[in-house]
Amino acid sequence: MQGYCIKCKCKKEIADATEHMMKNGRCAIKGRCPDCGSVMVKVIGTIGKVEERVENLPNPGEPER
Which residues in this chain contact Zn ion in the complex, by CB under 5 A?
5, 7-8, 33, 35-36
Q: 3-state class of 54 per DSSP?
A: helix
Cβ closest to Zn ion, residue 14 vs residue 33: 33
Q: What does the alpha-carbon distance between residue 22 and residue 26 come to, in Å, rounded to a whole number?
A: 5
Residue type at 46? T
Residues pairing with 27 in the sheet: 21, 45
Closest CB 34 distance from Zn ion, rounded Å: 8
Cβ closest to Zn ion, residue 10 vs residue 21: 10
Cβ closest to Zn ion, residue 34 vs residue 44: 34
